[in-house]
Chains A and B, each alone.
Chain A
Amino acid sequence: MKTQTVIALKFLLVMTILCGIVYPLLMTGVAQLSFPSKANGSLIKKDGKIIGSELIGQKFDSTIYFWSRPSAIGYNPIPSGASNYGPTSDTLRKLVEARRQLFAKMNSIENVLSIPKEMIFTSGSGLDPHISPEAALMQVGRISLARHFDKNQQEKLLEKVKEMTEAPQFLFLGEQRINVLLLNFALDKM
């Protein structure tokens, strides 16, 4: 029994070194060499300043931008999280109704039930970087008005949304989506 005690201690130490130090260090080395940008958070820079990560959503609620999804944490990633409202929550019902009304009003939509679901519900991480292309298209009119775009520019914006829409990965995995930060970044450049 005493030998087992000694082995248990030594074995824990060996495993801690192997799985807790060697393995993560080795993986960090490989990751930094083969995918440096991704391993460091897919950061986006503008004029040398970091404006965010391609993968981490940001809060967009201004009329001149495409809106991102509502978020339970207001897109503050420390810590990430969701609303965790259940399916019979009255609070959730009120929030959803208010979001429907606001989105419909701002984007001149008549049928509130046609609003894509991701625009009225918060995401799991609170940092969802995507919305559906439908949700983006619905916002083009409002943005064009706010930015005083002419017909030509509005056409270009519609084109931009279509161009930046990501198909399901390998054509069948996951959903069709569009990255809101990248889209707004491109919008600012127009």
Chain B
Amino acid sequence: MNEAIQLILFLGLLAVLSPLLGKFMAKVFMGEKHMMKPVLGWLEKLVYRLSGIKSVEEMNWKTYLYAVLLFNLFGFVFLFVLQMLQSYLPLNTEKLPNVSWHLSFNTAMSFTTNTNWQSYSGENTLSYLVQMLGLTVQNFVSAATGIAVVLALIRGLTRKTTDALGNFWTDMTRGVLYVLLPLSILLTIALVSQGAVQTFSHYVKATTLQGPEQVIPLGPAASQIAIKQLGTNGGGFFNANSAHPFENPTPFSNFLELFSIIIISAGLVFTFGHYMKSKRQARAIFITMFALFALGLAISLWAEYGHNNMLNVSGSMEGKEARFGVMNSVLWSVTTTVTSNGSVNAMHDSLSPISGMIAMFNLMLGEIIFGGVGSGLYGIIIFIILTVFIAGLMVGRTPEYLGKKIEAFEMKMTILAVLAPAIVIKIFSAIACSVPAGLSSLNNAGPHGLSEILYAFSSAAGNNGSAFGGLNANTVFYNLMIGFGMLIGRFGIIVPVMAIAGSMAEKKITPVSSGTFRTDNWLFVMLLIGVILIVGGLTFFPALALGPIVEHFLMNLGIGF
């Protein structure tokens, strides 16, 4: 009963609050009056002045993309160097050594691409300084980068015969100041009130009741956890991520964090609606995402509550926390994988085969069911273009979206963006399966071992960051492979998306007529869901059949490895 109430409350709040946040964000990014302007307007001007930004000067797609890439490159280099020098820098209370070059590379790539894959374990690898100056900052700006890119694409789709796509720096500044920062401040305070730690003290030594000593790690965790959830980042302050009692102390903190994971991505769909001046178009996208989310959730709940003949138990608690129970663990696993968040409150490696598969399949679809902040929306717009194109082929009509003709160039870019992550998942996994360096990291044998590898590269390519954590990923091989996987998964999509934005902006808008193929009705929602599932299904079904699906049947027969 309680399970049902929590589920309905979560889904209900999502449906009610995302249009409101979407409207607010539309005002922010269109430069209109909004409630945060009187509070933080001075700071916006200050950031422009200090950085030398001319906020009204608009950019064409090449300049915009150049700014995106350059800013991310600098962020990467800074974070990489910061980790490699941490032992010489202040705020290293536990005297941690410098991070190895390959782990620094992986973590820097992980945080600049908004993946936040954890090869590191926070409490014994990274100093407070690196967590703040490095990880927290990238949590903010990588999320804002996603929002900026989708804003450029939205402008490209809704403006006509222009090359102006907005100003990257202005979009970044507004995203951080008016959206991410205020929400993070509220969430931080709420989390601390539940017991999340926020301090600069040394780790504490305790003498336990039974005798042995226990070292209790501390740190400025709550402030980082807040943005880690809101920015769909997901990299934990501690190794156990949001299963750790200091990151996620109570069921209420769990609910707040869970909701924070999805709300901005969902809100941005409605922001798009305001730019299009069409609530119906936005609603069609939202319903598509919501339906795919609910479908995955239903299957995952069914599988996780099902019986495991191997262990003779229904609803296993392996890798789950007692305060959350099975339902909250499954809800989190689906929410964190449809969005590209990747934080976990239960270990995905220990989920039932089909629940683990749903999580993995969400990653493989390319993080477009709500997805990462910004990246989820530009991801699904790519699929919308693909759907419109396929529908156009079927009826023999020139495909159009929002009155813009879709031509050869856009289709090439679209296919590039669809293929980039798929190539990473399949080819990188195949390499890892065929070399000793790939296989020696496995924690589980049999089909579950394949799932561990497959999940790792799906997570990298989708910029998700969650893991089948048994895989020992802190090796030269995996740090490099996953690092490059994240790079391709992020910029292999951003570059074609920006090219589409540029080419769409220059086109005319054909007025709506009776011959227009509509993209705001139920028929289109069904088509879009079909295309997403067929593309995802055809690409990945063979691999999934060898991993989680065969494991499910073996589990039913009671066969283990």
Q: Which residues of A contact B (CB under 8 A)?
A: 1, 3-12, 14-16, 18-21, 23-24, 26-28, 30-32, 34-35, 38-43, 49-62, 65, 69, 75-90, 92-93, 96, 113, 117-118, 120-132, 168-170, 172-175, 177, 181, 184-185, 188
Asked if residues B206 and A10 are in contact (CB atoms below 8 Å), the reply is no
Report if B124 contacts A (CB, 8 A).
Answer: yes
Asked if residues B561 and A90 are in contact (CB atoms below 8 Å), the reply is yes
The closest CB in chain B to the CB of A36 belongs to: B199
Report if B543 contacts A (CB, 8 A).
Answer: no
Asked if residues B181 and A130 are in contact (CB atoms below 8 Å), the reply is no
Residues in B with CB closer than 8 Å to A75 are 208, 214
Least CB distance, A129 to chain B, in whole angstroms: 6
23 A-B pairs, CB-CB below 8 angstroms? A3-B52, A4-B63, A5-B70, A12-B141, A14-B47, A19-B227, A39-B197, A39-B222, A56-B214, A59-B210, A60-B210, A76-B214, A76-B215, A80-B121, A82-B349, A86-B353, A90-B561, A92-B311, A120-B313, A120-B317, A121-B318, A123-B322, A173-B2
Least CB distance, A71 to chain B, in whole angstroms: 11
Q: How far is the CA of A62 from the CA of B210 in the complex (A)?
A: 8
Q: How far is the CA of A1 from the CA of B207 in the complex (A)?
A: 59
Residues in B with CB closer than 8 Å to A168 are 2, 251
Asked if residues B470 and A84 are in contact (CB atoms below 8 Å), the reply is yes
Asked if residues B66 and A55 are in contact (CB atoms below 8 Å), the reply is no
Report if B350 contacts A (CB, 8 A).
Answer: yes
Residues in A with CB closer than 8 Å to B254 are 173-174
Asked if residues A82 and B137 are in contact (CB atoms below 8 Å), the reply is no
Report if B271 contacts A (CB, 8 A).
Answer: no
Report if B97 contacts A (CB, 8 A).
Answer: no
- A124: which of B224, B313, B319 is its contact (CB, 8 Å)? B319
Report if B140 contacts A (CB, 8 A).
Answer: yes
Asked if residues A51 and B209 are in contact (CB atoms below 8 Å), the reply is yes
Q: With A40-B201, A56-B216, A93-B560 in contact, is A122–B193 under 8 Å at CB?
A: no
Report if B220 contacts A (CB, 8 A).
Answer: yes
Q: With A58-B209, A79-B122, A93-B311 in contact, is A14–B198 under 8 Å at CB?
A: no
Q: With A20-B132, A23-B223 in contact, is A93–B317 under 8 Å at CB?
A: no
Asked if residues A81 and B188 are in contact (CB atoms below 8 Å), the reply is no
Q: How far is the CA of A12 from the CA of B76 in the complex (A)?
A: 11
Least CB distance, A72 to chain B, in whole angstroms: 9
Residues in B with CB closer than 8 Å to A35 are 192-193
Report if B249 contacts A (CB, 8 A).
Answer: yes
The closest CB in chain B to the CB of A123 belongs to: B321
Report if B110 contacts A (CB, 8 A).
Answer: no
Q: How far is the CA of A139 from the CA of B451 in the complex (A)?
A: 39
Q: With A58-B208, A127-B240, A129-B245 in contact, is A4–B318 under 8 Å at CB?
A: no
Q: How far is the CA of A104 from the CA of B337 in the complex (A)?
A: 38
Residues in A with CB closer than 8 Å to B515 are none
Chain B positions 344-379 with a Cβ under 8 Å from a chain A Cβ: 344-347, 349-353, 356
- A65: which of B185, B210, B347, B445 is its contact (CB, 8 Å)? B210
- B208: which of A14, A52, A55, A96 is its contact (CB, 8 Å)? A52
Report if B239 contacts A (CB, 8 A).
Answer: yes
Report if B37 contacts A (CB, 8 A).
Answer: no
Q: How far is the CA of A132 from the CA of B317 in the complex (A)?
A: 12
Q: How far is the CA of A80 from the CA of B192 in the complex (A)?
A: 20
Asked if residues A77 and B215 are in contact (CB atoms below 8 Å), the reply is yes
Asked if residues B176 and A19 are in contact (CB atoms below 8 Å), the reply is yes
